[in-house]
Amino acid sequence: MIKVLYEDNHILCVEKPVNMPVQQDSSEDEDLLTACKLYIREKYNKPGNVYLGLVHRLDRPVGGAMVFAKTSKAASRLSDAVRRNLLTKTYYAVLDGIPAVKEGRLVDDLLKDERTNTVRTVPSGQGKRSSLTYTVLAENSSHALAEITLETGRSHQIRVQFASRGTPLVFDQRYNPHPGRGQIALWAVRLSFPHPVTKETITVVSLPPKHVRPWSEFEVRL
């Protein structure tokens, strides 16, 4: 069952479940795009194919807020908003370790290895410039809850930038050298963008599961 955060004639905002691919991949597991098309087909009794435009992505292990376009015009305008950095993505992450600096901006050049689907930091000029801002909201003896806003949308960006500074994400099986067993502690909590038709600012919110570790270690709210 898809959790709808906001819907009108032009856009559909939903909460992506963890471990669900955004679109069909080689695993042939159920994907969010197909599930949302089915939701529209059943809700509005639409025959035939349903159009739904994919304008941004979330890594498969990550849950949280996403927006889809219900018309080609909305898809074009939302894609333009993404290119112009008018679509703001804010995340919560639980870090394995405590950052020395509680608020700041991280800037790195990142390079993706398509063969292994991994990303690493590289010297300036050798990769794609990547940046984000963050604020530590809370901490305990071993973990910190951080609010992160992306300035660029590179693959695995949040995971790699924090791991490269010795504070990888809790339960990150790819970039945390001691990940343990659990679901990666990264969640897309807020999405804000200009409506493709009315131009008003649309903001949708999705909170991580508060009874699941490591989210349960903190009072997670917006």
The one-digit pLDDT tens for each residue of the chain (222 residues) are 899 999 999 999 999 999 999 988 777 889 999 999 999 999 999 888 899 999 999 989 999 999 999 999 999 999 999 999 999 999 999 999 999 999 999 999 999 999 999 999 999 999 999 999 999 999 999 999 999 999 998 999 999 999 999 999 999 999 999 999 999 999 999 999 999 999 999 999 999 998 999 999 998 776
Neighbours of 143 (CB within 10 A): 20
**Bridge partners of residue 107, in order along the sequence:** 131
Number of helices followed by number of strands (H, E) in the chain: 3, 11
CATH architecture of 3-217: 2-Layer Sandwich (3.30)
∠ CA 55-61-63 to the nearest 5 degrees? 60
pLDDT at res. 222:
60
pLDDT at res. 48:
83
pLDDT at res. 168:
98
Cβ-proximal residues to 184 (8 Å cutoff; 6+ apart), any chain:
61, 62, 159, 169, 170, 171, 172, 173
Name the 3-class secondary structure at 222: coil
Does the pTM of the predicted model rise above 0.75? yes
Asked if 163 contacts 176 with a C-beta cutoff of 8 angstroms, the reply is yes
Question: Distance between terminal CA atoms of the chain?
Answer: 24
pLDDT at res. 37:
96
**Bridge partners of residue 6, in order along the sequence:** 13
* H or E element that contains 65: strand 63-69
Helices within the chain (DSSP H only) = 32-44, 72-83, 157-163
pLDDT at res. 64:
98
Phi, psi for 126 (deg, rounded to 5): -105, 0
Helices within 100-207 (DSSP H only) = 157-163
Cβ-proximal residues to 79 (8 Å cutoff; 6+ apart), any chain:
53, 55
